[in-house]
């Protein structure tokens, strides 16, 4: 299973929405709300699944899902 497919599975699980189909161009609509835990749950789920650790500020610079996939793959290779 490639990174994109695995990530798609995580998104579906965290957002509790089996219809999610990720593309490289997919961007986060303003989901980061004061009462929202989904963003941090997503980060934790991705870190656990790929056994990686994001540094502070690394995620803020990502513009879309494609860049997230690239970052994950770069971290796995390290």
Partner 1 sequence: MTFYSLEFFLFLPLVFIIYHYSGDRVRRLVLLLASVCFYAAFRLPHLVLALVCVVSVSYVIGLRIDASSTPGRRIGLLWLGIGANLLVLIAVKYLPFIVACLNTLASKLSWGVSLPESPLLVSIGVSYFVFQALSYIIDVYLKTEAAERDFVLFALYLSFFPKLLQGPIERTADLLPQLRAPYEFRYDVVRSGLLLFTWGMFKKLVVADRLALYVNMVYADVHGNSGTALLLATYLYAFQLLLDFSGYTDMARGVARLFNINLTQNFNAPYLATSVADFWRRWHISFSRWILDYIFKPLQMSFRDWGTFGTAFALFVTFLVSGIWHGASWGFVIWGLLHGLFLAVSVYYRPWKKRLYKATGLQGTWLQQIWQTVVTFNLVCFTWVFFRAASISDAWYIVTHVFSDIVSVFSHGGFSQAFQLGAGKTKFLQSLIPLSAVLLLSLVKDKVDLFARPFWFRWGAYYLLVYLILYQGVITSKATFVYFQF
The yes or no reply on residue 37 touching partner 1 (CB under 8 A) is: yes
Cα(78)–Cα(34) distance, integer angstroms: 34
Q: b/e map of 9-26 (b: 16 or more CB within 10 Å)? A: bbbeebeeeeeeebeeeb
The yes or no reply on residue 34 touching partner 1 (CB under 8 A) is: yes
Cα(8)–Cα(20) distance, integer angstroms: 7
Q: Does residue 48 sit in helix, strand or coil?
A: helix
Q: Provide, rounded to whole angstroms, the least separation between the CB of residue 10 and partner 1.
A: 15
Q: Toward partner 1, which CB reaches closer, 43 or 76?
A: 43
Q: Provide, rounded to whole angstroms, the least separation between the CB of residue 45 and partner 1.
A: 11
| Of positions 33, 51, 77, 78, contacts partner 1 by CB under 8 A | 33
| Of positions 21, 56, 77, 78, contacts partner 1 by CB under 8 A | 56
């Amino acid at each position: 299973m490639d990174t994109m497919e695995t990530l798609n599975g995580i998104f579906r699980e965290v957002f509790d929405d089996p219809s999610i189909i990720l593309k490289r161009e997919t961007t986060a609509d303003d989901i980061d709300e004061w009462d929202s835990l989904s963003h941090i749950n997503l980060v934790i789920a991705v870190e656990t699944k790929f056994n990686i650790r994001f540094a502070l500020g690394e995620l803020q610079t990502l513009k879309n899902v494609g860049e997230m996939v690239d970052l994950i793959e770069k971290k796995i290779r390290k």
